[in-house]
Amino acid sequence: MLFQSFVSFVFFVDLKNTRAMALVVFEQSLNLEAPFPMSKPRILVTRAVFPDVLERLAPYFDIESNQEDCIYTEEELREKLRDKDGVFTTPSERVSAATIAACPQLRAICNMAVGYNNIDLDAASQAGIMVTNTPDVLNETTADFGWALLMATARRVTESEHWLRAGKWEKWRYDSFLGADVHGSTLGIIGMGRIGQAIARRSTGFNMQVLYHNRSRLSEDLERAANNARYASKEDLLRQSDHVILVLPYSAATHHTITAAELALMKPSATLVNIARGGIVDDAALIDALRTGRIAAAGLDVFENEPRFHPGFLSLSNVVLTPHIASASEPTRRGMANTAANNLIAALTGGRPANLLNPKVKPKA
């Protein structure tokens, strides 16, 4: 039987001089199953998180938290999950098929991210485990940051700042740090989901032409809303664009979408920005292209094998490097954490999470 309410209350029952007390807590918009178990479900929160998020979870769960923010090995994570009903994860934890098989009690994996390539979704589904992510809440913030990287890359912002801090600024010169114009140029977007479309909308104020490549073409209405974006093959987009932004999800199919062959198609004056996932770009090939002037510059928020990224980037002045912070505004990161918490509460209290990645899963009892 399901109940839905908007208040919290305590009631008392007196049966044959035996006094029983039950505290029933209802939260607005959450469906909770009754009768309630005598013990709370046990969960692991794998990384440090806002303390108020832990406070939100506390009425529902017996929590093992990690406010020290240790990075667990896969073996350590597996051991911690053996007696857990749910887990609040981040992209830094790999939840493999082997880990899932070793944790038969696990019923929900709730990732604080849009991407979920750190989780074996097929294995989780076969095991009856619900898996969720946190879409939409970070679309606009990530699009903002894509533009920040694009502008910094095109106009050589970090390169010139380092030069200034090194005490090298002695006079103005006509050719100091000449970069590329953004206004009036052609923007190529590979991956035209919600974030890609948000990036395209922002290009209107720069009077840009927008090309995009996607698994499927958008509707005419969505293309119109995205600054009249035009669909193009990947090859044509790379040849024609002055600035290319990568916003596609990582999968086996998208691994190394950009290799030496794709970089060779780009204009020597072009820039490449990656706010998608590490592994979308062959980083070694990109380093070579930047070093040899095959393309002008790059802006990167994600890397292969991050945080242990390729050291070759550090010797290049024509690349802007940031540590995977595209969604890192306080309101957005709080929104992501609370969305993951909502998903976990729903999954383990008899409800259906709003962001279920495997909707056909048959949840464990």
**Residues acting as catalytic residues:** 277, 306, 324
Q: Which two tokens stand for residue 249?
A: 């999800």
Sequence-distant (6+) residues with CB within 8 A of 57 are 43, 45, 63, 88, 341, 344, 345
Beta bridge partners of 2: 33
* Three-state SS at 93: coil
Cα(341)–Cα(351) distance, rounded to whole angstroms? 13
Cα(292)–Cα(208) distance, rounded to whole angstroms? 28
Q: How many helices (H) and strands (E) does the chain have?
A: 12, 16
Rg (CA), the chain: 24
CB half-sphere exposure, 130, CA atoms < 13 A: 28
Sign (positive/negative) of CA torsion 96, 98, 102, 106?
Answer: positive
Instruction: Find, among 360, 362, 338, the residue nearest to 107 by Cα.
Output: 362
Within 10 angstroms of residue 310's Cβ, the number of other Cβ atoms is 14
The phi and psi torsions of 289 (rounded to 5 degrees) equal -65, -35
Name residue 136's amino acid.
Answer: D
| Alpha carbon of residue 193 to chain centroid | 13
| Alpha carbon of residue 48 to chain centroid | 17
